[in-house]
Structure 1
Amino acid sequence: MIGVSKKRFSVITLYVLVLLISLSVDAFSQTSMSTLKKRKEQNEKDIAYTNTLINNTVKNKKVSLGRLNLLNQRIRSRQALINSIEAEISHIGSQIRQKQNDISKLEDELDKLKKQYAKVIVYAHKQKNSYEKLMFLLSSKDFNQAYKRYKYLQQFSEYSRKQGKTIGEKKDSLAAKIVELNKVKGEKEELLAQKTDENKKLSAEKSQQSALVQNLKKREKQLRDDLRKQKRYAQKLQKEIQKIIERQARLAKKSSKSAGKYAITPEDKTLSLSFDKNKGKLPWPTKTGFISEKFGEHPHPVLKHVTVRNDGVNITTDSKSDCRSVFKGEVTHILSMPGLNNVVIIRHGEFFSVYSNLATVNVKKGDLVQSKEKIGVVYTDSSQDQTVLKFQLWKGSTKLNPAQWLYRN
């Protein structure tokens, strides 16, 4: 008995596991499809936003790095959209194969049921005469056999009815699966058509990009002069930031017994920990925009063999866009610098956020600001057709990559 129980338990356990795995696969499939759709929708929104920025600059018809940055961003978003479409097509392809397998199994089951039912119908036809049924019962040897024959006729009748019902249910299930399959195939065809359309647009945009780069190369001397100026501005800002950080460190050491390299007060330590916990969750310093120049060293978009260094990130945004604090803190300095316009520096414990290239400033030194509080308006460079916020993050004297700290979709 124990052996039988164990065997029965194993069969039940196996059945439950198979059921759970099946449900998990279905849930995962639905979740991944939902994720793919959301990613595609975000890609489409990114393209629409970049198109808006491009349309606002098209009237000027200037050949500028600003326009090239916008076009590069649209190409990146377009390629990301195509990748999302391809991922969706691949996922739908798996769904189609699964549904085709399900349909094939249902068709086999239905075929077997029909064959069994055909035999039942033939037998039932032979036994349809009531006289023959009566003779079948009366020819029994005894009452017990007659009762068994009677129950057999009842069960056979019930079995026939159930077989007919099962066949009907299988037919309905098969029809529903075929409808689902055709729907998914239709979605795939739509996606394939969209992919073809997006590839055409991408090709046209790359041609525009190539033409714009060639036009900008004709102004190589000016580009190099502009780059040298930007480098000087960046170096000057970096020196100022480092002076400010060192000054803040000296002040903190005076008010703290700690002998560390960068001593901070208990209040600042709490703020620093809070800031640190929000890595990857900080709000963007502008309501809209995209990173048009990333952190660190990277090739110049036009000049060959020329490397550009950025101590933060450049965020291209809308004209007259507000600049916001990314976290609560204290405004420690407001600077006015050539090439960077107005600069606001906010301290968050041992962290510092730096907002450069502001046309106007809405705060003053010593102000306590909250997360997302307006601190100024980003400057628009009409000669370059762009509105760019230069944003930096520091932890003590260490430069951080802002892209790793800002909220990511």
Structure 2
Amino acid sequence: MKLSKFLFLLLFVLSASVTFAQSSTELKRKKEAIQREIELLQRNLNKTANSKKLTLGQINALNKKISLMQDKITVINSEIKNLDNQIHENTNTVINLKGQLGQLKKEYGAMIRFAQRNKNAYDKMMFIFAAKDFNQAYKRIKYLQQFGQYRKKQAGYIQGTQKELNYKIVILDKNLKEKSNLLHEQENEKDKLGKNKNQQSAVLNKYSKQEKKFRQDIASRKKQQAQLDRSIRAAIVREIELERRRAEAAAKAAAAKAAAAAAAAAAKAKAENRPAPATPAPAAKPKANSSGYLAATPEAARLSAAFESNRGSLPWPVATGSITESFGKHKEGQASYDNAGVTIQTAEGASVRAVFNGKVSKVGNALGRYYVLIKHGQFFTVYQNLRSVSVSAGDDVSTKQNIGTVASSGDIPELQFQIYRGAVAQNPAAWIAK
């Protein structure tokens, strides 16, 4: 029973340690990812530090940086809470192990005293020969053998418990030091957050002085962006219309072929004086004005299904980046606008890559920058604000294939990334990996 309890306690301690390690590893990985985003945004902000002109990219970068710093402090708080739980568990384990060690030593001491009293071989022989019959004598011999073996086992249990106790004390000390380091890191991050909020206040003060000019710049930029988005939607609508015509032509050809086959079968039946075979029902026409035309062929249908099955796990269109402007409606001061995708700030000269297998539908140029439209069955992905492109219309592309390099908007490298299902804009943040 003592051994069973000891093994159960040891198993519990080890499983708790593994669970903690996994959770701690996940939190550290998340914290490191947040820190990489913060550093990327800070590098972009450093480029515009001496610029007198305030841009939307600067404001978005600063706001996102502050949000990430708050997220990092939240993660650190979770790490501290995790450590507190582990410290509590380890403290209880140390207390239990000390109690078990004391009990084992007490029992072992009693055995030693008993052995001392019966260490004489003559006493052992007298103990055996005092048995009333042979069976009892045999049992006494076995008892003396088992007693010696049990004493050795107890000594082993004491050594094992002492070793586990020492190990847990070392882990407990390590936990306490790690908690101290995390508390120090938390204070540093709070201090940095305070400084960045002061910087944000200074930027907002600068914005209030330049508000009229800033609003005009946003209105002009977003007007151009809206024109480009309309142009891209028009290209998608044309693609749907083209597929509709192809589908209708294929349906007419199939119907004509079926009618000819039916006429030939009827003529043959008449010549052979047999009843004419039943005329097959005409094939159903595809629905008008539907993106379903884009998945009319088996190959396109498979590609559409594969794209949709990867919702939430598509790779990012850049290797490193931070979403600084989300999908949907936005308001900056009195200026309001709609974002048909997400704006991703990335490193200068970063490679832009296709997020899934597909075919380049269009490569366009607007405002001195390139954009690429890639078709994935009934889905489309759009990559705007490219400095250069390395693909052409009609090219087949594979997942993560380089299609160009990102350009800078107001000294900050930004990619405008969009996803459409047919001509309906989707929120890319719900499609790409977290």
Aligned to 2:78: 87
Aligned to 2:419: 393
Q: CA RMSD in A?
A: 3.2
Aligned to 1:233: 224
Map 1:7-406; keep pairs closer than 5 Å: 27-58=18-49, 60=51, 63-128=54-119, 151-256=142-247, 257=251, 258-262=286-290, 263-264=293-294, 265-266=296-297, 267-300=299-332, 303=333, 306-338=335-367, 341-381=369-409, 384-406=410-432
Deviation at residue 191 of structure 1 after TM alignment: 1.6
Deviation at residue 85 of structure 1 after TM alignment: 1.7
Count of paired positions: 388
The C-alpha deviation readout for 1:187-232, integer Å capped at 9, x for no partner, is 2222222112222111211211121121122111012112221332
Give secondary structure in 1 for the equivalent of 2:365: strand
Give secondary structure in 2 for the equivalent of 1:323: strand
Deviation at residue 43 of structure 1 after TM alignment: 2.0
Deviation at residue 310 of structure 1 after TM alignment: 0.6
The C-alpha deviation readout for 1:45-73, integer Å capped at 9, x for no partner, is 22233333333333546543322322223
Give secondary structure in 1 for the equivalent of 2:415: strand
Deviation at residue 81 of structure 1 after TM alignment: 2.0
Deviation at residue 157 of structure 1 after TM alignment: 4.1
Distance 1:147 1:368 in 2: 88
Distance 2:356 2:76 in 1: 36
Give secondary structure in 1 for the equivalent of 2:48: helix
Distance 1:181 1:228 in 2: 59
What amino acid is aligned across from residue 352 of structure 2 in structure 1? C
Give secondary structure in 2 for the equivalent of 1:229: helix
What amino acid is aligned across from residue 391 of structure 1 in structure 2? F
Same amino acid, percent of matched pairs: 37
The C-alpha deviation readout for 1:340-373, integer Å capped at 9, x for no partner, is 7333322222222222223334444333333333
Aligned to 1:3: none
The structure-2 alpha-carbon separation of the partners of 1:151 and 1:297, relative to structure 1 and needing over 3 Å to count, comes to same
**Residues 41 and 345, structure 2, Cα contact 8 Å, conserved in 1:** no
The 10-residue stretch of structure 1 (194-203 or 42-51) with the greater mean CA deviation from structure 2: 42-51
The structure-2 alpha-carbon separation of the partners of 1:368 and 1:133, relative to structure 1 and needing over 3 Å to count, comes to closer
Unaligned runs of 5+ in 1: 1-11
Give TM-score, length-normalised by structure 1: 0.82
The C-alpha deviation readout for 1:114-156, integer Å capped at 9, x for no partner, is 2223333333343445665566566666776666555554444
The structure-2 alpha-carbon separation of the partners of 1:148 and 1:217, relative to structure 1 and needing over 3 Å to count, comes to same
Give secondary structure in 1 for the equivalent of 2:356: coil
**Residues 63 and 200, structure 2, Cα contact 8 Å, conserved in 1:** yes
Distance 2:343 2:408 in 1: 13
Distance 2:383 2:154 in 1: 76
The C-alpha deviation readout for 1:78-124, integer Å capped at 9, x for no partner, is 22222222212211221111111211111122222222233333333
What amino acid is aligned across from residue 345 of structure 2 in structure 1? T
What amino acid is aligned across from residue 190 of structure 2 in structure 1? N
**Residues 312 and 392, structure 1, Cα contact 8 Å, conserved in 2:** yes
Distance 1:33 1:188 in 2: 12
Deviation at residue 399 of structure 1 after TM alignment: 0.8
**Residues 72 and 209, structure 1, Cα contact 8 Å, conserved in 2:** yes
**Residues 64 and 216, structure 1, Cα contact 8 Å, conserved in 2:** no
Aligned to 1:5: none
The 10-residue stretch of structure 1 (188-197 or 276-285) with the greater mean CA deviation from structure 2: 276-285
The structure-2 alpha-carbon separation of the partners of 1:109 and 1:293, relative to structure 1 and needing over 3 Å to count, comes to same
The C-alpha deviation readout for 1:149-200, integer Å capped at 9, x for no partner, is 5555444444444433332332222222212221222222222221122221
Unaligned runs of 5+ in 2: 252-285
The 10-residue stretch of structure 1 (52-61 or 233-242) with the greater mean CA deviation from structure 2: 52-61
What amino acid is aligned across from residue 246 of structure 1 in structure 2? V
